[in-house]
Chains A and B, each alone.
Chain A
Amino acid sequence: MNPYYLITLGFALASLVSPASRKLTYWLNVALSSALLYFLLFQPGSIGGTDRYFMLISGIVWLTASLFSLDYDHYPKLLAGSFSLAIAGMMVILLAKDAVTFLVGWEVMTVASYLGITAKEREGRGAYSFLAFGELSALLILAGFGLLTIQNGSVDFSAWKASPAWNVAFFLAALGFSVKMAIFPFHIWLPQAHGKAPANLSAQLSAVLTLMGLYGMVRLLLIARPADWIGAFFLLFGGLTAILGAAYAAGTEYVKRLPGYSTVENDGVLLALFGGTVITLNHGNVDLASFTFLALLFFAFAHSVSKGLLFLVAGRLENGTGRFPEVVHGRLSLLGVIAGYASALSLAGIPPFPGFLGEWLGIESLLQSFKIPDPGLKVLMMLVGSLVALTAGIAGVAMSKIITQGAQRAGGKNGYSVEDIGYAFSVAVLFTVGIVPGLLFRLINAPMEALTGQKATDFLGGVLGIKEGFLVVAKGFGGISPTYLALLVFIFAVGTYIVLKPFTKLKARRVRAWSGGLTNPEYPPIAHSTILLVTEGWLYGTMEEKGRLHWREKVSTAYSRLADGYLAFSEWFRHGVMRGSDSVYVAYILLTLIAGLVYLLYAL
């Protein structure tokens, strides 16, 4: 029996156990995730290369989140069950060979997550918008898949091939997937939902749920290429999403919304890279297409693992109303603080973490757009590349905020617990892949061969003093070696310390910080973002009233107005048209009768 099917079944059964014991559910999840990782790495069996890669990323996040949940979950039992069921749904998506199973998995995942979000949020608005946009995405995917099924006469993915309606169907389905990935302007649900959900579920939602969107798009891309305009669309909107996500992440006052907006930003970059892959494939530039695809997959790994970890840490930082000034001391052990630093630094694109290489690969691929013959697309891709670079800078502001106002302040917990094992595991994964990315490249070989026939390991080389296999090369453009960079940092920083420590005779004396002679409170957390909020007030809609600085996202305001407008219309319809009096209904019947008679007269 295929071990993966067993594992899926195991997750589903674990969710049924939850009414009895939450801890048992989570321990089962831990065991199953570990088993999954074992099989993926050492006995992959007959699973496809792409599926294997995506499942690996998911497995790492699931393991960390389950270990975290053991101590974290003090919520209604619904949460544990929905956590597990959502994982089961995602496994179904990853293993699906036909459209119907895929959609079943998709719905299970969405509904289970919705139930999980309601476990914490009583009024349900964030959960409801999650469900609403989730169903919108499901509808679009259904439309796309439906069209393809009709065209090819079968629901099996293997039976689908390129056809006249491929572009339209691809676009519909991909749009559905990208709504799940929070493309602009369908992104407002993500920070709200992920901000309000319990942290273990948020980690899963941001890291893996959005990954499923990417998985769907990659799956379709592996079947056949779509037209250029689809690539351009995702390039443009991906870039916009990225910059908006980064800007709002840097400006937000809520601890859990910062990683939420960061997910919007990273998914925007992924969408832009997806668009880039499509365009480069269409113009026959195989090297560049493979490189862009490598960037896409590697970035997805870096994002998912770090974001999952960051959400877990943010869950511990959250206190009271969830704003930054309320972060208290003593919530995170030393490992927790390290986990906070590692995940935030990776998302900011700092070596020696995988985010650094992911960012480099992404920008490097988009800025090689000069190799595309079409002038319009060339310029578009380059502009989006610069936008992504700007995004990386602003993400640095956001990540430094969550480090200095969050992880740094919440340390000081004595003793370790089970969640620290999860932190240690994820941090180890981040360091390993960040320092020796070649290990991951081997796993990317399979999906890349399916797309372009090239291997990811083709992009590893060596030059001058760098040993073969440790230099990541963009063929004919540039190269970077995270391994040697990490080595350099280690030698200079740690080495200097080790060499000097036994030789220094000077004693160190600890003193306070100098603050004009007195003690001052620290700069308020909002000050971290004020430089952006005040100078780019047009982007945030910043308001400074009565000594209070606050902002609200304009798209959010637009949606609220839309919703209010619809409710007003609904009220009018209810009271104005559907009155409760019999005479009005009789009038309506008469009107319908007359209309029907008039139609018959005309038709005959």
Chain B
Amino acid sequence: MKALSAVFRKGGKYLTVWLDYESGEAELEFTDSLPGRMIAPALIGETEPYMRIPPGTNAVPLTFGPAAGGLGQAGAFEILTYGERIVAIRPVYGYKGRGLEKMMLDRPIGESIAVLERAAGNFAMAYTYAFLKAVEANPDEDVWDVRKALLELERLYNHFNAIHKLAGAASQKVATMHFHALEEDVLRVFSRLTGHRYGFGSNLPGEVRILEPEVIQRLGRIKAEFRSLTDELLESKIFIDRLHTTCRLTREDVIELDAVGIAARGSSVPRDVRAFDRFYSYKPVTYEDGDALARLMVRIEEVERSFEIIEGSDVRSVSSDPSLKDGLNLGLAEASHGDVLVLAELENERLRWIGLRGASRINYIAFAKGITGNIFTDFPFGLESFGLNFADADLWQGGED
């Protein structure tokens, strides 16, 4: 079934991208008006339509953010509440609009990649994966094998961070610190492996630069530690209870909102672009319940799969043909929270137009749908179970409209 994946503006019209998650086919369409899907306004950055204030309400809209200690980033939620309960909620995008997309244009491609990595730092590997997927003319199997390993490594530390945040919200003080330390372990692996804790500068067209490949051995210990910590954490009934039935998204909600990534997979909709990526042989992990607990279980299962994939890759520095293909091309990559989409138009090996769609842009709306009707104390559980961030939600396009 086709989902609306991105909406940009190009040549005075709306450029919509439809993605079929079963076949992997993407369809680009130029239309005059916004498509009729519910997620369309969010994809162009407008979230007002998602806040429905019921008439005659005695609730008051409050803004949580943009410098809220609980969120820790420049983003806000507008919440309608009469006290304990969230009656309606919408994310407020725009606080992180830095104009980076324009900075990527008309530069040597290495510089464009440097800017793209710094668009969403903790999803840098995913964005460069998607970008290079779109623009590389002759992809080399070995190079992509290492790129795949780096992407999975990034997925690891993001999942550890999500579990750390969930445990922290439930005041599992010891567990949260253990997972935080695990995340730091992976960042140190990255640092030794690529020379940068977040892997910036390791991916260039046709090559991948690895400094100390033997560091990958450390993952064995990290895996054993992860398994032991997760077993212990999942024994805590209090922790499980806080996640169970919190922020529930039904299958119908997911399909209606075209949700991606963990939000979809936690509600038994198998949306994962690795399923049709030719460098992977992957079957999506899904869980049924659609609550925060299901999403946590999806993450735990995916961590196991990531370890397998990394162990099966030969991680080392590889170089190959750096030539790029001109024209408008689409690239997809599955970041830890959902798929990111890059639509790049090159001319003479320089970017003329770039469109970026982060998974957070869609999944924040799915979160808003799920958290409606919950009470405030369940807010952090719902939010952290998605693993999103606003930097990734505020990316759109650069180039002529």
Contact = CB atoms under 8 A, between A and B. Distances in A.
Interface size classification for chain A: 20 to 34
A549 interface: yes
Contact of B66 (A253, A516, A526): A516
Given A516-B76, A547-B88, A526 B62 contact: no
B351 to A, nearest CB: 34
Interface size classification for chain B: 20 to 34
B260 to A, nearest CB: 28
A516 B64 contact: yes
A248 to B, nearest CB: 17
B228 interface: no
Interface in A480-528: 515-518, 520-521, 523-524, 526-528
A258 interface: no
Interface string B53-79: 111111111111111100000001000
A575 interface: no
Contacts of A546: 54-57
B82 A527 contact: yes
A529 B60 contact: no
B58 A526 contact: yes
A521 B61 contact: yes
B60 A523 contact: yes
A325 B58 CA distance: 9
Contacts of B84: 527, 530-531, 534
A122 interface: no
Given A526-B82, A531-B83, A534-B83, A549 B58 contact: yes
A516 B68 contact: yes
A530 B83 contact: yes
B306 to A, nearest CB: 36
B65 A516 contact: yes
Contacts of A533: 83
Given A526-B83, A531-B83, A531-B84, A547 B63 contact: no
Interface in A529-554: 529-531, 533-534, 544, 546-550
B87 interface: yes
A548 B83 contact: no
Interface in B36-62: 53-62
B82 A524 contact: yes
In this complex, which of B57, B67, B83 has the most chain A Cβ atoms within 10 angstroms of its Cβ?
A: B83
A524 B84 CA distance: 11
A1 to B, nearest CB: 58
A253 B60 CA distance: 15
Contacts of B161: none
B56 A548 contact: yes
B76 A521 contact: no
B85 interface: yes
A547 B53 contact: yes
Contact of B83 (A515, A524, A547, A550): A524
B80 interface: yes
Contacts of A518: 63, 66, 76
Contacts of A547: 53-54, 56-57, 59, 80, 82, 87-88
A524 B80 CA distance: 10
Nearest to A515: B63
A322 to B, nearest CB: 14
Nearest to B62: A520
Interface string B160-201: 000000000000000000000000000000000000000000
A135 to B, nearest CB: 37
A518 B74 CA distance: 12
A528 B83 CA distance: 7
Contact of A517 (B56, B62, B66, B82): B66
Secondary structure call for the A interface: mixed
A31 to B, nearest CB: 46
B81 interface: yes
Contacts of A325: 58
Nearest to B88: A547
Given A527-B82, A548-B57, A517 B67 contact: yes
Contacts of A524: 58-60, 81-83
A528 B82 CA distance: 9
Given A516-B76, A521-B60, A523-B60, A549 B66 contact: no
Contact of A527 (B64, B83, B88): B83
Contacts of B88: 547
Contact of A548 (B58, B60, B65): B58
B83 A549 contact: yes
A516 B68 CA distance: 5
Contacts of B87: 547
A544 B83 CA distance: 12
Contacts of B68: 516
Nearest to B60: A524
Given A516-B64, A516-B76, A544 B56 contact: no
Contacts of B375: 534
Interface in A33-69: none
A409 B244 CA distance: 41
Contacts of B64: 516
A220 B247 CA distance: 61
Nearest to B67: A517
Contacts of B65: 516-517
Interface in A542-587: 544, 546-550
A530 B66 contact: no
Nearest to B61: A521
A530 B54 CA distance: 18
Interface string B82-107: 11110110000000000000000000
A534 B373 CA distance: 12
A146 to B, nearest CB: 50
Nearest to B83: A530
A516 B64 CA distance: 7
B401 to A, nearest CB: 29
Interface string A295-315: 000000000000000000000
Contacts of A544: 85
A550 B58 CA distance: 9
Contacts of B82: 524, 526-527, 530, 547-549
Contacts of B76: 516, 518
A518 B95 CA distance: 12
A517 B67 CA distance: 6
Given A325-B58, A521-B61, A527-B82, 18 more contacts: A516-B64, A520-B62, A523-B60, A523-B62, A523-B83, A524-B82, A526-B83, A527-B60, A530-B83, A534-B375, A544-B85, A546-B56, A547-B53, A547-B59, A547-B80, A548-B56, A548-B57, A549-B85
Top-7 shortest CB links A-B: A530-B83, A547-B54, A527-B83, A547-B57, A517-B67, A524-B60, A547-B87
25 contacts: A325-B58, A517-B65, A517-B67, A518-B63, A520-B63, A521-B62, A523-B60, A523-B83, A524-B58, A524-B81, A526-B59, A527-B60, A527-B83, A527-B84, A531-B84, A534-B375, A546-B54, A546-B55, A547-B59, A547-B82, A547-B87, A548-B57, A549-B59, A549-B85, A550-B58
